[in-house]
């Protein structure tokens, strides 16, 4: 099991629950290196001065903030320390809210909170978890991880407590600030009805295991076949035509989905 990345406590008024934090995410991206095509040698990146074109040692590089175009202010390690939040070993709960009041736009990373290996930690952890579940509330809190203060949401899930780091409001782009959104376009009532039928025909119970990273699986398969000497041939893809008759497209989609469901039921019966 992976080691905890943070340890401390959840602070709730005068109550402290000793806990540890574990990452709840395993990124499965396929990573690549860059090679020179003719020799197969690895490509390395160098830090080069824009003025001289020469490589610069790390010891001779400083951080700077651009106030205006071409006008920089150097920032030292001491400056970062002066602005850094006070190191803390507590997740400080500020409020409790209903989960459905929090827009998922705010969520970033997810972690599991586990009780610490101390006397009474598991009991205090279970008490907080069960009370939150019974009241159907989640906690909004702050804590410092790796010198950065985070706004977080803590919620009971699957018999445990999960922590989601969150974006602050000023970090989210409002829909009204996005160009091209059809905010003043009203949909036709008949088309809305058909769209509702299409949604109903595609509605299922949420089962995460239904959804797989098909691109990653196909890419790894291509790499494996190519490593075994197989020549990879790319099949031409059909271009999807623009939707001209929206009603006809909705009707065809509903019928196609009904047909797919009938075939699925037939396979299960067989």
User: Contact, 111 vs 61, CB < 8 A?
Assistant: no
Work out the burial of residue 152: count CB atoms within 10 Å of its CB; fewer than 13 is exposed, 13-18 middle, 19 or more buried. buried
Q: Enumerate the domain spans of the chain.
A: 6-27+84-171, 189-234+244-269
Region 135-164: mean pLDDT is 93
The better pLDDT of the pair 246, 153 is held by 153
Predicted confidence (pLDDT) per residue in 44-96, tens digit = 989 999 889 999 998 999 999 998 998 999 988 888 777 766 667 899 999 99
Cβ within 8 Å of residue 91, ≥6 positions away: 8, 9, 10, 11, 19, 113, 141, 142, 143, 152, 154, 163
The better pLDDT of the pair 21, 237 is held by 21
Could you tell me if residue 37 is left (phi over 0), alpha (psi between -120 and 50 degrees) or otherwise beta? alpha
Bridge-partner residues for 8, per DSSP? 19
- Ordered alpha helix ranges (H), the chain: 77-83, 121-135, 189-202, 214-227, 246-269
Residue 240: per-residue pLDDT: 62
The percent of residues in the chain predicted with pLDDT above 90, rounded, is 40
Residue 182: per-residue pLDDT: 81
Quote the radius of gyration of the chain (alpha carbons, Å).
27
Phi, psi (rounded to 5 degrees) for 78: -65, -35
Q: Which range, of 90-99, 193-202, 226-235, 243-252, averages the lowest pLDDT?
A: 243-252
Q: Which range, of 96-105, 186-195, 251-260, averages the lowest pLDDT?
A: 251-260
Q: Among candidates 162, 155, 157, 148, which has minimal Cα distance to 113?
A: 162
Cβ within 8 Å of residue 167, ≥6 positions away: 105, 106, 107, 108, 151
Per-residue confidence band for 233, with pLDDT thresholds at 50, 70 and 90: confident
Q: What is the pTM of this model?
A: 0.70
Q: Greatest CA span in the chain, whole angstroms?
A: 73
Predicted confidence (pLDDT) per residue in 99-149, tens digit = 999 999 999 999 999 999 888 899 999 999 999 999 999 999 999 888 788
Tell me, rounded to whole angstroms, the distance of Cα 31 from its chain centroid.
18
User: What is the domain class of 6-27+84-171 according to CATH?
Assistant: mainly beta
Q: Which range, of 62-66, 181-185, 226-230, averages the lowest pLDDT?
A: 181-185
Cα 226 to Cα 10, 177, 195, 233, distances in angstroms: 51, 46, 43, 11
Residue 89: per-residue pLDDT: 85
């Amino acid at each position: 099991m992976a080691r905890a990345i943070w340890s401390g406590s959840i602070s709730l008024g005068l109550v402290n629950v000793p806990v540890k934090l574990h990452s709840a995410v395993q990124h499965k991206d396929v990573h690549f290196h860059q090679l020179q095509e003719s020799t197969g040698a690895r490509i390395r990146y160098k830090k080069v001065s824009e003025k001289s074109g020469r490589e610069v040692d790390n010891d001779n590089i400083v951080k700077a903030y651009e106030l205006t175009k071409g006008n920089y202010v150097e920032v030292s390690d001491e400056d970062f320390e002066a602005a850094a939040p006070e190191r803390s070993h507590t997740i400080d709960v500020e409020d409790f809210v209903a989960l459905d009041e929090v827009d998922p736009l705010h969520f970033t990373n997810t972690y599991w909170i586990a009780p610490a290996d101390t006397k009474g930690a598991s009991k205090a952890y279970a008490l907080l978890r069960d009370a939150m579940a019974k009241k159907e509330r989640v906690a909004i809190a702050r804590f410092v991880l790796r010198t950065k203060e985070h706004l977080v949401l803590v919620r009971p899930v699957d018999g445990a407590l999960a922590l989601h780091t969150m974006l602050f409001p000023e970090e989210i782009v409002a829909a009204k600030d996005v160009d091209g959104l059809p905010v003043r376009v009203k949909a036709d009532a008949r088309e809305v009805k058909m769209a509702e039928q299409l949604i109903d025909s595609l509605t299922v119970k949420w089962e995460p295991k239904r959804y797989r990273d098909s691109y990653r699986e196909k890419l790894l398969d291509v790499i494996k076949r190519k490593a075994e000497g197989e020549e990879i041939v790319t099949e031409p893809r059909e271009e999807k035509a623009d939707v001209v008759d929206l009603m006809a497209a909705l009707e065809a989609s509903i019928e196609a989905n009904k047909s797919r469901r009938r075939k699925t039921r037939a396979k299960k019966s067989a």
